[in-house]
Amino acid sequence: MLKHLPIYACGEIVRGFGRGSKELGIPTANLSLEAVKSLPDSLQTGVYYGWANVNNGDVHKMVLSIGWNPFYQNKEKSVETHILHDFNCDLYGQILKICIAGYLRPEQNFDSLKVLIDTIKSDIDSAKSLLDTVENKMLQGNSFFTNKLEKFLIC
């Protein structure tokens, strides 16, 4: 699976479960179910890091979760992207582009909400460091982020 990285994907930002900002204090931009189902089968569930932009804007570091989020017992697989940038606005209906650069850890359940939040914060710290490598910084400037795309696409 890791030999297939990076993976580029995009799609419309849709409403998720409403937990990222409100319950966790970690807002996420969620890809549509159609885009989630288009990801390669070889991409295992878990937490990844990479780059993201919204509507061809600036490219920012991100962490994303791919899976069923066992703590919440989701029934549908989701892709929830936490972009390391404060947009201060509603992103629903915008086009999210992501470059999945690397894998942090497998999906897991947690004993408490506090442990989940602490783990996500640790994931964010790890992603920040990993994305500062020369190899990963090169992905930030990929032309994928400036090409105009209207629908989801897996590259």
Give 23's DSSP letter: I
Per the omega criterion (within 30 degrees of 0), is the bond before 40 cis?
A: no
Helix, coil or strand: residue 138: helix
User: Which residue carries 């004993």 as its tokens?
Assistant: 111
* Contact between 49 and 125 (Cβ < 8 Å): no
18: which 2 tokens? 């409403």
The verdict on whether omega for the bond into residue 27 sits within 30 degrees of 0, i.e. cis, is: no
**Phi, psi angle pair for 145, to nearest 5°:** -75, -15
Question: Is position 80 annotated as part of the catalytic site?
Answer: yes
Q: Which residue of the set 12, 23, 76, 80 is catalytic?
A: 80
> What residues are labeled active site?
80
